[in-house]
Amino acid sequence: MLALAERLRAAGGGAIDEPTIQAVAEATGAPLDHVRLVLKLRAEKQHAGMLHSLRAQYFALDVDTRRYVISGMMATITAGLVRAEQAFGQQVQNYGFLTMLSLVFVTLGLYNIAICRDRRSAIVSGAILAGGGFAMGSFFALVLRVPVQIESFALIPMTLGGALGGLILHRLVEQFRGRLGLKDPAQERQKMLHQLVELQDKLREGEQSVTFLSVDIVGSTSMKAGADPLNVEFTFNEYYNFVGRIVARFGGRVHSTAGDGMTCAFDHPQQAFLAARNIQSSVIELNTFRNKLGRPIVLRCGIHTGTVVAPKAGDITSVNFAHVIDVAAHVQKDCPPGGVAVSDAASCQLPGGWTSVGSEKRQVHETAFVVWMPRAKEVETGHRVTPPPAPMPSARPVR
């Protein structure tokens, strides 16, 4: 939400107006008031000082309320300039400069009414401009002690006249909007929504469903303690190659390695599950022929499926931070040694569902998973496991 708002703010010249807030809310599904509050708090955090605080509060207001605030400001400034001209004009010989400046602010007030999005907003803004200007003129006349004749009851017809003028001005602008070069708010909003959709599409170009397999060695620290460094390097290199070959055989790729842990990525949970089972079933071969540490390698495997967004579309290795990877690691750590833990999100996509994995159900960090265990476990003797004797060839019967 913040990324979309910041992108549109930059495209809009540094301001986030009401159409932008509404477009962000519709595109992200967040409530409109929630978007306003978040953007307001973010603006207050980024900028310090009263001016920036007032600016942030102004842009957090509803678009109609903004029109009313601007009308009140224009009315106050215009009334102050007119009374200042009457009080000090002849003394400082400003040649009507304050009066001309007041006309500029009146024009800005009229423009504010002209760009209102509906008739009700235009009527209220016109009433505030006229009635507020009349009331503030009386106030400044009192403060500056300007001798003018002001009838209090004139406030009502001035306010009604301003409301009627706002309605007429709004209708004229709506009728000649194209000739005046003003943008249609509805069309501008639709254009902004299209920009949002295009931005979302670009951000989601690398979005895909990926299954991650987390593999880790149980008690690797104690295995390395006291072992020959060359044997440790050789054994763990063989372990990495062993897992990498099986993962590639089932259509996966090694995503990352950290210590003795490996994270592998697959396009489908079935591939990851078959690879994990093959790893656990074939680890006896690794221990028999390529393990030089004197203790068998025991593995834990965890599988989870979810959606990730790759910064580089199509390159899953560019994903460094993803909730799916974290869940796969959590599931793996809670898996029994020698087993494969498959989360419900992954097992539901397997042929036969979670029942095809196993019957033992567990849960970790609010993630439910089922555990697969091989029927025959490797026997740990404290020494390197020796392969079973090869079967003797059967003798041919003598005829």
Q: Looking at the predicted structure, is the pLDDT value of residue 93 above 80?
A: no
Which of these, 212, 324, 219, lies nearest to 268 by C-alpha position? 212
pLDDT at 390: 39
Q: Which domain holds residue 357?
A: 207-372
CB 86 within 8 A of CB 129: no
CB 195 within 8 A of CB 8: yes
Last residue of a domain, one of 200, 233, 265: 200
Q: Looking at the predicted structure, is the pLDDT value of residue 267 above 70?
A: yes
Which of these, 267, 252, 354, lies nearest to 307 by C-alpha position? 267
Q: pLDDT tens across 7-66, in order? A: 766 666 566 677 777 777 777 777 777 777 777 666 655 555 566 667 767 777 888 888
Is residue 391 domain-resident?
no
Could you give the dihedral angle defined by the CA atoms of residues 105, 109, 110 and 115, in that order, rounded to the nearest 10 degrees? 130
**Structure-token match 């605030």, residue found:** 69
Last residue of a domain, one of 200, 219, 237: 200
Q: Looking at the predicted structure, is the pLDDT value of residue 71 above 90?
A: yes
Arithmetic mean of pLDDT, 190-196: 79
Q: pLDDT tens across 122-137, in order? A: 999 999 999 999 999 8
Q: Looking at the predicted structure, is the pLDDT value of residue 80 above 60?
A: yes
CB 213 within 8 A of CB 266: yes
Q: Do residues 187 and 213 share a domain?
A: no
**Structure-token match 């842009």, residue found:** 59
Arithmetic mean of pLDDT, 70-94: 82
Arithmetic mean of pLDDT, 360-381: 77
pLDDT at 279: 95
pLDDT tier for residue 397 given thresholds of 50, 70 and 90: very low
Query: Quick check: helix, strand or coil at residue 233?
Result: helix
**Count of positions (residues) in the chain:** 399
pLDDT tier for residue 92 given thresholds of 50, 70 and 90: low
Which of these, 349, 340, 327, lies nearest to 370 by C-alpha position? 340
Arithmetic mean of pLDDT, 329-338: 93
Q: Do residues 161 and 287 share a domain?
A: no
Amino acid at the residue 334:
D
Q: Do residues 278 and 350 share a domain?
A: yes
pLDDT at 391: 42
Arithmetic mean of pLDDT, 142-170: 86
Last residue of a domain, one of 185, 200, 215: 200
Q: Looking at the predicted structure, is the pLDDT value of residue 389 above 50?
A: no
Q: Looking at the predicted structure, is the pLDDT value of residue 307 above 90?
A: no
Is residue 386 domain-resident?
no
Q: Do residues 182 and 228 share a domain?
A: no
pLDDT at 76: 94
What rounded mean pLDDT belongs to the chain? Answer: 81
Arithmetic mean of pLDDT, 187-196: 77
Arithmetic mean of pLDDT, 335-360: 92
pLDDT at 264: 94
Q: Do residues 109 and 250 share a domain?
A: no
Is residue 383 domain-resident?
no
Arithmetic mean of pLDDT, 107-120: 88
Structure token digits, residue 145: 């002690």
Q: pLDDT tens across 31-42, in order? A: 777 777 777 666
CB 276 within 8 A of CB 248: no
Q: Looking at the predicted structure, is the pLDDT value of residue 281 above 80?
A: yes
Is residue 382 domain-resident?
no
Q: How many domains does the chain contain in total?
A: 2
Arithmetic mean of pLDDT, 235-256: 94
Arithmetic mean of pLDDT, 221-229: 88
Q: What is the C-alpha separation between 282 and 242, in angstroms, rounded? A: 9
Q: Do residues 185 and 227 share a domain?
A: no
The pLDDT > 70 percentage for the chain reads: 78
Structure token digits, residue 333: 């750590």
Q: Looking at the predicted structure, is the pLDDT value of residue 276 above 70?
A: yes
